[in-house]
Amino acid sequence: MADWQKVTGGITAPRGYQAAGITAGLKPSGLPDLALIFSEVEAIAAGVFTTSQVKAACVEYCRQRLQAKQSARAILCNAGQANAATGNQGYLDALESAMAIAQALNIPSESVLLASTGVIGQRIKMDALRSGIPNLVTALSDTGSDAAAEAIITTDLVTKSIALETTIGERPVRIGGIAKGSGMIHPNMATMLAFVTCDAVVSPHLWQQMLARAADKSFNSITVDGDTSTNDSLIALANGQSRTPAIIEWGAEAEKLEAMLTAVCQHLAKAIARDGEGATCLIEVEVTGAHDEISARQIAKTIAGSSLVKSAIFGRDPNWGRIAAAAGRAGVPFEQENLQIKLGDFLMLENGQPLQFDRAAASAYLKKASAGAYLQQDTVLISVNVGNGYGVGKAWGCDLSYDYVRINAEYTT
């Protein structure tokens, strides 16, 4: 059993955080589009960002800030314009955004981190942002997580939020998170934003290491469409307001904190994959028997990202051959006579040999998942074994429907 429990509150569940989300006029739709997360004290900050060579101004800004100082008090996020591929003026807009919110909060601009999402090539509507900041600061609340989660989404159909609590040093410790993402999602981060808050006391070095490992097991293990974005950002704050003993080296307490951080990130990552543009179900791929964990995850990500596998799942076609083909091209050596494939409870391939199975029942399993409750009974399980190794890895994706093409064909029109 997990050594934690779910609690309400999202990113404001941990002690010492407030959040807000408002409509500032950045989105043409008139929906909420400006969010703020604020810590009442300086918090240890860590980040994982896009691997794309084309990076948004906010990503460049955050990387420089975190290299200079591994702490922050505020995260400002605008939705509507990605402020990516906008040249030097886009970076100046980012700097101005940080200074504007810092002045409104009466904190140094060096304590502000930034994130943006929206259409690539469009600068932030600075007039709207400037006029919205006073209202945003006024709206800060210790119950503002839902408003912030609403303000960061773009093509998402639902908001993504989670909060967990455990005990460290006989005191409660909480981690909360919100995220956005629906399309342009692929391992090595994707067009996704995720913000995590924690009230534990942890060293900057350990917090960054924990976040990087959690990202590998969550956001770097999801895929919707094979595209990686320019703005991908995972930012985590730890402000120490739980008053627990400081975690400054690896041990049981650090292990517990990282496990809970990973659970938060995995929940948000699965929510992003399930909310893939046009998706009707979540796909979870588990690979066992690989040489190591990295190899197992690589095979799992390749299967979850296969357009043919995703299309078959949408068509409710239990075509295990596509799963086998994806596993084989993952770039991880294994003996095909060891390959085993299961779809749910249906064993389809054993020791590299095809087996008879009830195709109608397997198709019905896929149909049932598409009608299941969100993140509960809506998951298609694909289990693949490739040998006798100790490596185990998981990846998550979604099916590929007709609506994906429609949504993205009309994205800027």
Catalytic residues: 191
Phi-psi region for residue 85, left (φ > 0), alpha (ψ -120 to 50) or beta?
left
Q: Strand locations in 181-250, DSSP E?
A: 193-198, 233-238
Q: Are strands 5-6 and 353-354 parallel, antiparallel or unpaired?
A: unpaired
Indicate if the alpha-carbon torsion angle 222, 197, 33, 114 is positive or negative. Answer: negative
The CA distance from 80 to 151, in Å, is: 10
253 Cβ contact list (under 8 Å, min separation 6): 168, 169, 245, 247
Contact 358, 347 (CB under 8 A): no
How far apart CA 233 and CA 50 sit, in angstroms, is 6
**Dihedral over alpha carbons 41, 44, 49, 53 (to 10 degrees):** 100
The alpha carbon dihedral of 309, 310, 311, 317 has a sign of: positive
Cβ neighbors of 267 (< 8 A, separation 6 or more) are: 162, 177
Cα(16)–Cα(222) distance, integer angstroms: 31
Q: Give the whole-angstrom CA distance, residue 311 versus residue 295.
A: 24
Q: Is the dihedral of CA 41, 271, 6, 79 positive or negative?
A: positive
Q: Sort strands 112-119 and 160-168 into parallel, antiparallel or unpaired.
A: unpaired
> Going by C-beta distance under 8 Å and a sequence separation of 6 or more, which residues neighbour residue 270?
222, 282, 284, 375, 396
Q: Which residue has the tokens 């600075």?
A: 126
How far is 274 from 396, CA to CA, in rounded Å? 8
Burial of 151 (0-12, 13-18, 19+ CB in 10 A): buried
